[in-house]
């Protein structure tokens, strides 16, 4: 159940269950179901069955499984399910290094480590916050729809920056990026909202990418090619600067 404490000391009960369908996707599932029914009635099962399978695929895309988020103030958790395709030091998004009109510059322009998570159409597309805190900025930027797996997608594609600030002043930014198939970024939060680590903050329809910008002095605890689980996989620990290696096998 949501809110249960599940840990390595045996507290709580865990069992497999069918994931729920997020309300954002129910309307699409209903439309696909109606089309499948009409196709079946008019053209018969040869058309009806493929459309019924398509309906199940639409519902599966919007699945919203429960996640168990580590309750660790040092942990930065993955905001998305997917494959880590890029890790490197880059300047933060320029939209977050400019004065917002209040005299405050949210982020320094000095390069920081960016982790890019590519979501295929088969991944869960509900995005979650990497840390707990207050939503300071949500900045939507129209753009192109090139392959989200490319590095240039961070600056050219349609995207949305979300900046989270903890009570101690620590800030973490992540960016939702639309891709070739994804054409809609749907936010669940707005500036001023107080959110918990791993809380749902939005989704991107039909495949895309999420970039996470780590605080200075923090190195990844994940590797290129690794799969992540939103709200569960620990991308990094604050203040930890050790470099890890892995073997593909």
Euclidean distance between CA atoms 156 and 125, whole angstroms = 21
Euclidean distance between CA atoms 176 and 102, whole angstroms = 25
Euclidean distance between CA atoms 20 and 110, whole angstroms = 41
| DSSP secondary structure letter of residue 18 | P
Judge whether 208 counts as a catalytic residue: yes
Among the residues of 62-196, which ranges form H helices? 153-156
Euclidean distance between CA atoms 216 and 198, whole angstroms = 21
Of 20, 120, 208, 242, the active-site residue reads: 208
Euclidean distance between CA atoms 84 and 86, whole angstroms = 6
Which residues are known to be catalytic? 208
């Amino acid at each position: 159940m949501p809110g249960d404490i599940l840990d390595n000391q045996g507290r709580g009960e865990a069992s497999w269950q069918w994931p729920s369908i997020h309300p954002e996707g129910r309307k699409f599932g209903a439309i696909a179901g109606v089309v499948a029914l009409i196709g079946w009635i008019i053209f018969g099962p040869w058309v009806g069955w493929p459309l019924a399978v398509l309906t199940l695929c639409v519902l599966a895309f919007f699945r919203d499984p429960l996640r168990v988020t580590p309750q660790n103030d040092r942990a930065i958790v993955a905001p998305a399910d997917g494959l880590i395709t890029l890790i490197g030091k880059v300047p933060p998004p320029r939209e977050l290094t400019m004065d917002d009109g209040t005299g405050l510059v949210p982020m320094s322009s000095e390069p920081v480590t960016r982790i890019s998570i590519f979501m295929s159409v088969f991944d869960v597309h509900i995005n979650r916050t990497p840390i707990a805190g207050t939503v300071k900025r949500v900045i939507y930027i129209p753009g192109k729809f090139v392959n989200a797996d490319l590095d240039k997608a961070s600056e050219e594609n349609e995207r949305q920056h979300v900046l989270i600030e903890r009570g101690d002043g620590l800030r973490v930014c992540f960016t939702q990026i639309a891709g070739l198939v994804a054409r809609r970024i749907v936010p669940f939060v707005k500036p001023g909202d107080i959110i918990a680590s791993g809380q749902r903050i939005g989704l991107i329809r039909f495949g895309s990418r999420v970039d996470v910008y780590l605080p200075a002095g923090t190195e990844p605890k994940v590797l290129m090619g690794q799969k992540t689980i939103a709200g569960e996989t620990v991308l990094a620990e604050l203040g930890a600067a050790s470099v890890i290696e892995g073997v593909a096998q």
